Amino acid sequence: MHSTLQRLSNVSALATTVLLSLLSAIALSSFVIPSRLPPASLALSHLNVVLGRPHHDRFARDREYAFVKFDLDADLAPLFHWNTKQVFVYLAADYSTPDHPDNTVVVWDRIVRSRRTARLRLADAKQKYEFKDLAHSFGNTSATFALHYQVQPYVGALRGGEVVRTEPVAFPPVKRRSQ
């Protein structure tokens, strides 16, 4: 009985060691595989700033909301290999105001689950999320928009990067909702 338990313990220790070694090799090999993305294009087709009030709080004061439409052409297929589960892609706006020098707002995102759907061709796409500033006003500033990705592997750490970035785009003058 004692030798059977000893054998079972040895076999399970060997199996655990082999499994952890294999998973470590898989995780490390993901960093060796090059993932050069082909050139991508990102252009804003519309940027508008409107003065409004949130619907959920009738006592809130007016604040500025930005509305974005964009054109995107990007091929994320090179990010897919045998250890890629999915790729999270998001469009972020980076801008600064006098009160808050570093602001990043995610305005759109998508989860790409396979190489077949990794080609993103969007024309006049709208933002998915509310784009507003903490200080209620964007002020006299500009923003750059960038497409980022996060590769989620089956085994290992997340890897991320930037696909494309626009030149700074100035926020237009504020319009009231009735205009």
Indicate the pairing of strand 41-52 with strand 175-176: parallel
Considering the entire predicted model, what is its pTM? Answer: 0.82
- One digit per residue, the tens of pLDDT, for the chain of length 179 reads 778 888 888 888 888 888 888 777 776 766 666 667 889 999 999 998 888 877 777 777 788 889 999 999 999 999 998 889 999 999 999 998 887 888 999 999 999 999 999 999 999 999 999 998 877 788 778 999 999 999 999 988 888 999 999 999 998 888 765 54
- Return d(Cα 74, Cα 128) in angstroms, integer: 18
Question: Which is nearest to 64 in space by CA: 123, 122, 143?
Answer: 143
Q: How far apart are CA 124 and CA 128, in angstroms?
A: 13
